[in-house]
Homo-oligomer: A and B are copies of this chain.
Amino acid sequence: MPKIVDQEERRRELAAALWRLLVRDGTGAATLRRVAAEAGWSVGSLRHYFDSQAALLAYSMELVIDRVTERVNALGPDADPAALLEETLPLDEERRAETQVWTAFTAAALTDPSLRALRDESHRRLRSLCVLAAGGDERAGERLHATLDGLALHALLDPEVTDAARQRELLRDALAAAASDR
């Protein structure tokens, strides 16, 4: 099926252009016009692969989920919970771009019902990972999940205060607090 493979390659090429823009210019860069310019495409050609901003964001969010899942799985079943959850925090350039996709996607999903199924799936998967990291305790896991998403957001909002070292410290504190709840 060479045509399907080709389509998927083109989509990945466009998502890579979005990634470069997010790393360089932040969440505001996630527009069809700017992605087309970055990839060296016309907006019309891009629309053949993504017919809306929402479609581009949904595809990018799916890539984020795949990448995080792959890294979490690579750590194996006996991994340190802190190491697992660090894969979702904006601790380096790559994860910072992923967090920017998450915030742009989540904001868009607040106003676009077509994005809600994927948003709910992503929200629930991270909650399950947090409940697991909290030793199976739902309540402690939900609190950990809130802390984790709040930390990711704060790292984008105020990167001087919530830098990588602070995110690691606060994640470890939150995991210790979850463990002492049990």
Contacts and interface: CB of A to CB of B under 8 A. Distances in A.
A156 interface: yes
Interface in A130-171: 139-140, 142-143, 145-151, 153-154, 156-158, 161-162, 166, 169-170
Contact of A150 (B110, B148, B166, B169): B148
A104 interface: yes
Interface in A82-107: 103-104, 106-107
**Residue of A148, A157, A162 with most chain B CB atoms under a 10 A cut-off:** A157
A29 to B, nearest CB: 8
A60 interface: no
Given A149-B150, A150-B150, A174 B110 contact: no
A162 to B, nearest CB: 7
Contacts of A143: 147, 170, 173-174
B142 A162 contact: yes
A27 B110 CA distance: 6
B173 A139 contact: yes
B169 A139 contact: yes
A97 B170 CA distance: 29
A110 B119 contact: no
B106 A157 contact: yes
7 contacts: A107-B107, A123-B154, A142-B166, A146-B162, A149-B153, A150-B151, A177-B180
